Structure 1
């Protein structure tokens, strides 16, 4: 199944390269192999070892946008410390954010632009839909196991 996800990223979503971080034994060398010139911008939802590997492979003045730490949600007892030497000497900027940081105007503009992009075929929507109220527990647990692709939705009833 995991290679199917990589194929989806490359073929349907247009990524140049992709890999499943859960299947790699050495994330630092994997990133170096995929990004031999280094990384300038990194969007992080994982944290932990994946973020540490990205920091190691960042270019000078690289930027990281952090909006999730799924590795901490899954295993709150295992925290991976970042290489602060790399952060300092490479002058990497790390910025955390939440969607609630943005005003209603910005959100409304985002929703309007996103809708237009979806309708024009510039954005691809991926959803995993489970049906019925009884599917809520398994759908929720599946989020943390990586069983979903895209937005996870539980449809309670037909309209």
Structure 2
């Protein structure tokens, strides 16, 4: 009986080590955000918390103006997320939770899917991050935890 117990403990220890190695390999395949990405994400979250004209406040050129600070920050984040191999978990940690998530069965799904200026091939859920309220938005297509595409949904005035 003692021999079987040692054998069982050995098998469990080996199984644990293999599981740890696999988890480490998965984490290694999705690199952590760089310090500059983290700083940019913090800038976005700070700007996002402020109210501009399109979210019930007064006009604020940093938040509301074309190529204002918030717009430029979001453009750079789009570029870095698509180039950096971000998955949905890392993107959410960087940007915060989306303002809205649309699933393919949602009645409002077609408009952003068709009207967004996509980089990549969109499919799956659409994660919307407001730039100027729901007026203009940064959209990411996420399927099975992977960010497949991103782009801008502008009101088109």
TM-score, normalization: structure 2? 0.25
TM-score, normalization: structure 1? 0.25
Rg (Cα) greater in structure: 2
Considering Cα pairs closer than 8 Å and 6+ residues apart, tell me whether 1 or 2 has the greater RCO. Answer: 2
